[in-house]
Amino acid sequence: MPIRVHDTLSRSIKPLLPKQPGAEYGMYCCGPTVYGPAHIGNFRTFLVQDVLRRALQLDGLAVKHVRNITDVDDKTIRQSQAEKISLKDFTAKWTKKFHADCDALNMLAPHVEPSAVEHIPHQIAMIEKLVAGGHAYKTGDGSVYFKVCSCHDYGKLAHLDRDSLRTQDTNSAGSVNDADEYERESVSDFALWKARKPADGENFWPSPWGEGRPGWHIECSAMSTHYLGETFDLHGGGIDLCFPHHENEIAQSECATGKKDFAAHWFHSAHLMVDGAKMSKSLGNLYTLDDLVAKGATPPAVRYALIAGHYRSQLNFTLKSVEDAAGAIAKIEKAATKLLEKCGLSPADFAPPVVLEKNTAWGAFLPAWETLCDDLNVPGALGKIFTALHAANDPALTVEQARADLSGLGKILYALGIRLFTAKKDAAGADEIPTEVAALGAKRWAAKQAKDFAGADAMRGELEKLGWKSLDRKDGYALVKL
RNA sequence: GGUGCGGUAGCCAAGUGGUAAGGCCCGGCUCUGCAAAAGCUGUAUUCGUCGGUUCGAUUCCGACCCGCACCUCCA
């Protein structure tokens, strides 16, 4: 059963299938502009794409995931100059940080991660095609603009009316769109190539139109078609990219190639809100992963919190949602541990996707998988996971059923990118029990066995002062850090 | 003004033309010397408001109220 998700172009839910059975499934996602640490809003989008990719792979598709790095624009240039380092060193630094955060959030690396700067020749080649085809023109300063009126179905993605576009003279920020200032023929025309300006410093490249740098939109068109072909399967990004970025990508790509189906499917995810408000620097609610970790959050819990809402709905992110997520993960771990015990396995054996027998079984987790396949309904799937987990706790469950359930759980958690038992591994070193604590624990246990409850309780108080507590069972106890 | 989305329990969040998944929190029970942990279990006569269609609507239609996003380089 193919995975079905919403397509922005047709405004409908469509199955995700390669053009021919067995063919590679090409998905292109607009990546980050590396001028600082990415914030959790960026990661929500990348995380949703990561879940989609994992699900597609689990469904048997040969996915080729391409996600670019935008490493030249006003912000990267301005910041690198401010720090007095080269653009290359500057963007390398933040690309590295981005990768580290992605790893922490358990995101699969894209198969190809092209840099915009390294693909300037491809961009120039595409611009040349557009100029030759009458879709672009050079202005007096050596810039090149895309001629929007040469593209008859411009606006088809965002469903915008071209006439209103051309007459619009202010943007949402209230600033005036002055066509004359840029020598543009129309305010809706956009830059393909930006002529070199003094403020660019050393950051310019040669082109048939003179020195300069590429416009933002052309980067993605050139890189996506270079790695995935002139028409490919799916293009994704945050909903804000729908217009103008994706609209412009469609226009320039289809005008350059002459083909009308640049991307077969447009996959957009809704924005993240923080504490009920739009994220913004001025509100001080623009969290990075490091910010959250500093507040005590763990990356797995952040991942869970960020994917726990449906991708087409705005998600209101709060610190409490991360705490709730940590509790939910712990609950899954407990139930998984029981299943593992039933099968005679240990948490160390659980590495999604769990390979048991042929690993084809879904067990009680089939409903969760089916829900995920239905427009990537992560919150619905999570609900079905917990329902299945309750059922799996039934003492009457056979080992055979437990193994099937474990296989299904491993697969659905793989799709969601939720790793279990990571905290224990990390804490193994940190939780080393100091000898005095161990001695005190043993003494308390002995007192308790001797029914000296007052003494035992007193020693429990001492343990707590040392930051430890004793979890007693019938046959023994375990010391854990508070 | 244009385009689009949403209002479901204390919080978060699915879903369906036939009388509301799940998570967090909270309550109860079991277990326990007491706790903790763990397991079980309980909590929306109700799904923004008002109409309409229907045997029946939270789910379809209309109106309204409220909130949100995008509208030229923000994921």
What pLDDT is recorded for position A182? 53
Q: Is A35 helix (H, G, I), strand (E, B) or coil?
A: coil
What pLDDT is recorded for position A174? 36
Q: Which residue is nearest to nucleotide B68 (CA to C1')?
A: A314
What pLDDT is recorded for position A172? 35
Give yes or no for CB of A334 within 7 Å of strand B: yes
Cβ neighbours of residue A118 closer than 8 Å, sequence gap 6 or more? none
Protein chain A, residues 426-455, with a C-beta closer than 7 Å to any atom of nucleic acid strand B: 448, 453
Name the pTM for this structure. 0.92
The DSSP bridge pattern shows strands A212-214 and A190-195 to be: antiparallel
Buried b (16+ CB within 10 A) or exposed e, A115-125: bbbebbebbbe
Nearest CA to A419 out of A429, A410, A431 is that of: A410
Give yes or no for CB of A197 within 7 Å of strand B: no
Protein chain A, residues 159-178, with a C-beta closer than 7 Å to any atom of nucleic acid strand B: 159-161, 164-166, 168, 170-173, 177
Nucleotide with C1' nearest the A164 CA? B2
What pLDDT is recorded for position A353? 63
Nucleotide with C1' nearest the A268 CA? B75
Distance CA A90, CA A78 (A): 11
The DSSP bridge pattern shows strands A315-317 and A272-274 to be: parallel
DSSP state of A43: H
Instruction: Give the tens place of pLDDT for each residue, A335-359.
Output: 998 888 888 888 888 876 665 555 6
Helical pair A247-257 and A216-228, crossing angle rounded to 10 deg: 60
What DSSP string runs through A366-431? HHHHHHHHBT--HHHHHHHHHHHHHHHT-TT--HHHHHHHHHHHHHHHHHHTPPSSHHHHHHHHHT
What pLDDT is recorded for position A165? 59
What pLDDT is recorded for position A427? 44
Q: In Å, what is the separation between the CA of A450 and the C1' of B19?
A: 58
What pLDDT is recorded for position A171? 40
Instruction: Give the tens place of pLDDT for each residue, A282-297.
Output: 667 788 999 999 988 9
Give yes or no for CB of A10 within 7 Å of strand B: no
Nucleotide with C1' nearest the A237 CA? B75
State CA A118 to chain mean position distance. 23
List all nucleotides in chain B with at least one atom under 7 A from a protein Cβ. Answer: 2-6, 11-15, 21-25, 32-41, 68-75
Locate A426 and state its tokens. 């990390």
Give yes or no for CB of A261 within 7 Å of strand B: no
Neighbours of A359 (CB within 10 A): 12
Q: Is the peptide bond before A353 cis (omega within 30 degrees of 0)?
A: yes
Residue length of chain A: 482
Phi, psi angles (nearest 5°) of residue A90: -65, -50
DSSP state of A69: B
Please report, in tens digits, the pLDDT of each residue of chain A (482 residues total): 789 999 998 888 899 999 999 999 999 999 999 999 999 999 999 999 999 999 999 999 999 999 999 999 999 999 999 999 999 999 999 999 999 999 999 999 999 999 999 999 999 999 999 999 999 999 988 999 999 989 888 888 887 766 655 444 444 333 444 444 557 788 888 999 999 999 999 999 999 999 999 999 999 999 999 999 999 999 999 988 988 899 999 999 999 999 888 999 999 999 888 887 778 776 677 889 999 999 889 999 999 999 999 999 988 888 889 999 999 999 999 899 888 888 888 888 887 666 555 567 899 999 999 999 999 999 999 999 999 999 888 888 888 888 899 999 999 999 999 998 876 544 444 457 888 888 888 889 988 888 888 888 888 888 888 888 888 877 788 887 77
> Complex ipTM, two decimals?
0.92
CA dihedral A76, A80, A82, A84 (to 10 degrees): -170
Q: Is A130 helix (H, G, I), strand (E, B) or coil?
A: helix
Task: Find out whether A158 and A247 touch, Cβ atoms under 8 Å.
Answer: yes
Distance CA A403, CA A356 (A): 7
